[in-house]
Structure 1
Amino acid sequence: MTTQRLSIGFVVNPFAGIGGAVALKGSDGAETREKALQLGAELKAGCRAEQTLSVIEPYRDRIQFVTAAGAMGADLLEQRGFFYQSVYQPDQQQTSAEDTQQAVQCIQQQGVDILVFAGGDGTARDVYQCLNETQLVLGIPAGVKIHSGVYAVSPKAAGRVIERLIKGQLSSLHLADVMDIDEELFRQGIVKARRFGEMLIPAELEYVQAVKMGGKESNELVLADIAAEVIERTDDEHLIMGSGSTVAAIMEEMGLDNTLLGVDWVHQQQLLARDLTEAELYQRVKEQNPGRVKLVITLIGGQGHIFGRGNQQLSPRILRHVGRDNIYLVATKKKLEGLQGKPLLMDSGDEALDKDWSGLITVITGYHDEVVVRLQAIE
């Protein structure tokens, strides 16, 4: 008896996330992509998608992929030895939103069981605009902006959702929001999120992320207390100020301009450099002695991600130089309670680093006020 294969539509946006490490706050638009390439950015979306494929490799003979040619999917499937059919050929090497949409349309015509795509919020929007409302989908997180609820919490988590489907295990379905933000405002430090619609996804809550909670913290007194604690702890150290409104409150308390969605460098309450790229940040970190650099960072509300979402400038090599013991993790208790007991998440792109840093970690929640929570590598 022959087991029927699960039919999987597979689309990779090769340029997803290309703007992250070079501080461009996104990857939408040909000009942004071209600038990112000029700044030395590397294409990493394929690597993220490959992590998903690695989970389901043992089930090769039970899967049939329908994909697009080249870097949009076929190259990865060929390298991994999967059965696949290519139904779309992009005209140019630098693919566009139109390529994503046309690939999705061609793939849907083949009647796939689930459409799996790798990208960020811009890619999710592109998929949504041409998707049949009854089509089951799942996103592999590979972009800078990942506010949408259609993405798995990590590439390997996406693989585990697919694994359940391959095995025929029961999986509830639900509609998840497709969200995106205005990248031009985003680069000015303004977060303006918009809901574009819904897509049908497998409701595996341990593997699929929640929609990011937007907006600034309302408890200004608590944020001021957190800022006072960080300032009191700092003497002659250099501070890497991560993104987010909680970190912005600390910068405001020091009277400094802040790159809300970028990374700044502060020493003795003076802003020495702002909106640094990964390469610029790494050069500064290398110039300092061990322990002389502290990283001030917060978590994404509603999700719990600390690394790997909107702060790709903080690469594994930078994190290793800084060291886990030199992190000031800041958040209000209200923000932590919003996680409903779920752990904080580590998705730096380096599995060994993520596992090494997993475990209990202290969070500054006020002036002389801390709590201990669990930091967990996404597997």
Structure 2
Amino acid sequence: MGNNYQHYRTHLSRWWGYIGWKRSKIGLIVNPIAGLGGPLGRKGTDDPETVKEALKRGLRKRAIERAARALGLVRDLEGIIYTVKGEMGEISVKLAGLSHRMALIAYEPSRPSTREDTIFSAREMLRLGIDVLVFVGGDGTARDILEAVCHEVVVLGVPSGVKVFSSVFAQTPEDAGRILREYLRGNLDETVGEVVDIPEEEYRKGGFSPKILGTMRIPKSLLVQGSKSMTPIDEDSLEGIYRYIEPKLSSYDVIVLGPGRTVSYVAKKMGYEKNPSTVDVVVDGRQYRDVDSFLMESLIEGRNRVLVVITPIGGTSFLLGRGNHQLIPAIRRVDWNRDVLIIATPKKIEYVRELVIDVDDGLKGVPEYLRVITGYKEEKIVRLKVPHE
């Protein structure tokens, strides 16, 4: 799709304004199991056993709710939302109060749904002439949408998976709603975003070699997340960070270590080997590796002095909600100003305008600005994008 077409489409949409808003046709596809593996410490939800365990432990299918949160910002839509029966979209549209605008495609998805259901549904919506396809899931769902539609229609991802590294996703569900609203009003141009994926087994072992699978057309907005990238190792800055925080580390009985190579370096200096993809907890000098949210709860139960050490995801602005869901029980318990250490090398944080948290149910006591330690006695103050802001 060339730049001339994008320029023409944008100006035509702006010319017809609210009429375009009224006549919009949105496609919605929800991957209802997306993200279920996160609290369990899994690196994805591809394994059916992961889904069974998550549901057995009472975890919510948060993708359904997150889709509804995005749609909640387009409640005055007077067009049509084409979606799939049941958990793949119908329930979310009803939760958002948009049942009167819903049209179900003539398709009965499997239970549980599969990638084949996603691909077929997307192609059926293309046939129905949708203007934009909204999908809810993670990188695996984005891969399926890419296979189904490629560049044939503009897409927008609502983040809900464990791995959400592709640059076709909004930063949060609410951001997806804002982007969708502005795009349908003709206020946003188009661009392309990358679809990337990391095999679960490789990610589980701490490797990070994202494969670019292709690109898709997306609305052009600052509320779309960037792709994850590797930041070059800066040994001097890492050493400085450790020297600066070492006294504080020694004053806590429980230390929660988030994912990332920056935190793994600190763990190594403390005398522990840590996989960069996992959340580990050190309790009274004993290391617990690859902790899930349930074990996290039990390890911090009754403890008054809990320290959380985290780093933003490289190439993005995310502090929580991307591959570190296991941290949330600890984060809910601690004082942000006293018990949370955010560390990052200068190169990693250089172009970050704000840090982003994307979690369900919100967080209490989160400050508007955060202190990021970048070296020995070196800090940077960064604005925090508050959950559900």
TM-score (norm 1): 0.91
Q: 1:47-62 maps to which residues of 2 (within 5 A)?
A: 47-57=65-75, 59-60=76-77, 62=78
Q: 2:80 matched to 1:64?
A: yes
| CA displacement at 1:81 relative to structure 2 | 3.0
CA positional deviation for 1:39: 4.5
Instruction: Tell me the CA shift for residue 90 of structure 1.
Output: 4.1
Q: Does 1:32 align with 2:58?
A: no
1:44 corresponding residue in structure 2: 62
1:368 aligns with 2:362: no
Give aligned pairs, total: 365
Distance of 1:38 and 1:274 partners within structure 2? 23
* Whole-angstrom CA distance in 2 between matches of 1:283 and 1:216: 34
Secondary structure at 1:27 match in 2: coil
Distance 1:364 1:223 in 2: 10
Residues 317-343 of structure 1, C-alpha deviations (whole Å, 9 max, x = no match)? 53221221210100011111132xx11
Task: Provide the C-alpha distance between the structure 1 equivalents of 2:215 and 2:350, rounded to a whole number of angstroms.
Answer: 26
**Partner amino acid for 2:326?**
Q
- Evaluate the alpha carbon distance shift between residue 256 and residue 140 of structure 1 in structure 2; reply closer, same or farther with a 3 A threshold: same
* 1:377 CA displacement: 1.4
Judge conservation of contact 2:309–2:340 (CA < 8 Å) in 1: yes
Q: Distance in 1 between matches of 2:334 and 2:232?
A: 27
Residue 362 of structure 2 corresponds to residue 344 of structure 1:
no
Pair 39,305 (structure 1): closer, same or farther in 2 beyond 3 Å: same
Q: Which residue of 2 aligns with 1:226?
A: 241
Separation (CA, whole Å) in 1 of partners of 2:232 and 2:162: 22
Distance 1:55 1:308, change over 3 A: same
Shift of 1:373: 1.7
User: Would you say the 8 A contact 1:22–1:36 is kept in 2?
Assistant: yes
Alpha-carbon distance, 1:241 to partner: 0.2
Q: Does 1:120 align with 2:138?
A: yes
In 2, Cα distance between equivalents of 1:217 and 1:142:
28
Structure 1 residues 216 and 266, CA gap change in structure 2 (3 angstroms): farther
Find the partner of 1:111 among 105, 129, 132.
129
> What is the identity, as a one-letter code, of the residue corresponding to 1:96?
T
The aligned counterpart of 1:95 is: 113
Q: 2:327 aligns with which of 308, 311, 314?
A: 314
Q: How does 1:181-192 map to 2 (within 5 A)?
A: 181-192=198-209
Deviation at 1:98, TM superposition (A): 1.3
- CA drift of 1:10 comes to 0.2
Q: Report if aligned partners of 1:358, 1:376 keep a CA contact under 8 Å in 2.
A: no
Equivalence for 2:8: none
CA contact (8 A) 1:77 1:84 kept: yes
Q: Distance in 2 between matches of 1:318 and 1:138?
A: 32
Q: Distance in 2 between matches of 1:225 and 1:334?
A: 14
State whether residues 66 and 87 of structure 1, in contact with CA within 8 Å, keep that contact through their aligned partners in structure 2: yes
Structure-2 change in CA distance of 1:91 and 1:117 (3 Å): closer
Indicate if the aligned counterparts of 2:110 and 2:117 stay in contact, CA closer than 8 A. Answer: no
- The residue type paired with residue 272 of structure 1 is Q
CA distance in 2, matches of 1:111, 1:30: 33
> Judging changes above 3 Å, is the alpha-carbon distance between structure 1 residues 267 and 283 closer, same or farther for their aligned structure 2 residues?
closer
**What's the CA shift string for 1:300-327, capped at 9, x where partnerless?**
1222110111111122x53221221210
Aligned-pair identity in percent equals 33
Aligned ranges 1:268-347 → 2 under 5 Å: 270-289=285-304, 292-315=305-328, 317-325=329-337, 326-339=339-352, 342-347=353-358
Q: Which amino acid aligns with 1:194?
A: K
Q: Classify the secondary structure of the residue corresponding to 2:149.
A: coil
Is the aligned partner of 1:243 residue 2:259? Answer: yes
Q: Is the 8 A contact 2:332 2:363 kept in 1?
A: no
CA distances 1:244-287 after superposition (whole Å, capped 9, x unpaired): 1110111121231213212111145x343111111111122222
Aligned equivalents of 1:297, 1:171: Cα separation in 2: 34
1:198-239 Cα offsets, whole Å, 9 max, x none, are 00000012x1111111x3532122112212322232224110
Provide closer, same or farther for how the CA distance between residues 223 and 78 of structure 1 changes in structure 2, counting only shifts above 3 A.
same
Segments of structure 1 that go 5 or more residues without pairing to the other structure are none
Match of residue 171 from structure 1 = 188
CA distance in 2, matches of 1:65, 1:140: 16
Q: Say whether residues 1:23 and 2:41 are aligned partners.
A: yes
Distance 1:350 1:132, change over 3 A: same
The TM-score with structure 2 as length reference comes to 0.89
- Is the aligned partner of 1:144 residue 2:156? no
Tell me, in whole angstroms, the C-alpha distance in 2 between the residues paired with 1:306 and 1:120: 17
The aligned residue for residue 197 of structure 1 is 214
Change (3 A) 1:124 1:266: same
In structure 2, distance between residues paired with 1:132 and 1:234:
49
